[in-house]
Every structure is written in C-alpha cells, then in structure tokens.
Amino acid sequence: MAHEFTTSYLTDAIAVLRYYKKLGERAIEQTPDEALTTVLDPESNSIAIIVKHLAGNMRSRWTDFLSSDGEKPDRNRDTEFEEPPRSREELMKMWETGWGYVFAAVDNLKEADLSRTVTIRTEPHSVMQAINRQLAHYAYHVGQMVYLARHFAGDRWHSLTVPKGKSAEFNAKMTAQQRPR
C-alpha cells in the first residue's frame, strides 16, 4: 500500500478500503477457476461464498448509509453462505457491485460527517465507528480469501506483499528508492 502522510481520517480510511479491494482482486486473479468454489472442509467458506457474503454486507451497510439502519430488512444473511456465484465473471460482478456501494457512500462523506450517528442492527455508531467496523470486517474476509488463494495457487503464487524470506531485499530496495537523487 502506498503511504501518504495525512491527518484526514477519511482520506486514510478510503485508501485502506481501496487497498483491501485490490488485495482481494489480486488473490482472486491467482486462483484457478475451479478453486473459487472449493471449500477446505464442510464448515469452511469458499472464495466465491466470501465474495457473496461481502457483497451482501456491503449493500446492506452502505445503501442509504447516513439515513437508514445498516442491516436492511430485505437482507437475508444466511443465504449469502449458500449457492456461490457460478463463474468468475459472476463473482467479479458481485465483487464490483459490493465495492461500488462502499465507495458511493464513503467518497461522498465529509470530515464533519464522522461524528454523525448511524445505526447498525439498531445500535448507534458514529460514522467513524461504522467505517472502522467495516474496515475490520473486510480485512478479516480478504485475509481469508488471500489465504485460500495462496493455498490453491501453490507454487504459481506471486506474493501480494513482501515475499517470504525476502524482507532484507525488500527493505534495501525501499531504502534505495528513498535516497535523494
């Protein structure tokens, strides 16, 4: 994630949300098609189911974000864990649609909105708390997706961050990039 010094919570939160979106996409890209719906055991979720759940959560939380409860009455959370998307294209459409709800809401927020109150499952949250709640939720599930993608890609995996055993090399490269020219 490119770091930019900021004192704006919203600027930082949006950058982190975009980072996790991209991380998930890079994991999905490396996952073989047949593995997108594969579960490791009967109680686990596949990448496709995680995407379906995230998309449902995102629609519910971010539609009419400032004016309605974040748990929409028409959301049936349990069905998000049934019948995964049937193709990579369907999965990516769900992914993009879900993130579309997120950014349509957060890109339009102002710093003054952060102290406003929103509800999630009838519980009051400041806008900042609601964003933090969702950041944690998305990081949790994107981490699951990355773990599964890494497992299924095997030796074809390209690291999404600092490759294992390459920290010193990575640090040297970063230091060299920061030297004045």
Q: Is the dihedral of CA 140, 3, 23, 121 positive or negative?
A: positive
Closest alpha carbon to 69 in 60, 59, 56, 78: 60
Of 2-6, 24-28, 99-103, 174-178, least confident by mean pLDDT is 2-6
How does pLDDT run across 128-140, given as a tens digit for each residue? 999 999 999 999 9
**Averaged over 132-153, what is the pLDDT?**
98
Q: What is the mean pLDDT of the chain?
A: 92
- Residue 123's nearest CA partner among 61, 54, 53 is 61
Within a domain: residue 112?
Answer: yes
Closest CA to 114 of 101, 96, 131: 131
- Report how far residue 169's alpha carbon sits from residue 167's, in angstroms, rounded to the nearest whole number: 5
Q: What are the structure tokens assigned to 9, written together?
A: 């919570």
Minimum mean pLDDT range among 96-110, 138-152, 158-172 = 158-172
Residue 2: inside a domain = no
Q: How big is the chain, counted in residues?
A: 181
> In this structure, is residue 66 part of a structural domain?
yes
Q: Is residue 81 part of a domain?
A: yes
**28 falls within a domain:** yes
Q: Which residue has tokens 């020219």?
A: 181
pLDDT band at 122 (very low <50, low <70, confident <90, very high): very high
Residue 91 sits in which domain range? 9-176
Q: What is the pLDDT of residues 18-76, one digit of tens each?
A: 999 999 999 999 999 999 999 999 999 999 999 999 999 999 999 999 999 999 999 99
From residue 39, alpha-carbon distances to 13, 45, 111, 148, 179 in Å are: 31, 6, 41, 9, 46
Q: Report the CATH number that the domain containing residue 36 is assigned in CATH.
A: 1.20.120.450
Question: Does 111 map to a domain?
Answer: yes
Q: What's the whole-model pTM score?
A: 0.88
Q: What local confidence, expressed as pLDDT, does residue 179 receive?
A: 61
Q: How many domains does the chain have?
A: 1
Q: Is residue 102 part of a domain?
A: yes
Q: What is the 3-state secondary structure (H, E, C) of the chain?
A: CCCCCCCCHHHHHHHHHHHHHHHHHHHHHCCCHHHCCCCCCCCCCCHHHHHHHHHHHHHHHHCCCCCCCCCCCCCCHHHHHCCCCCCHHHHHHHHHHHHHHHHHHHCCCCHHHHHCEEEECCEEEEHHHHHHHHHHHHHHHHHHHHHHHHHHHHHHCCCCCCCCCCHHHHHHHHHHHHCCC
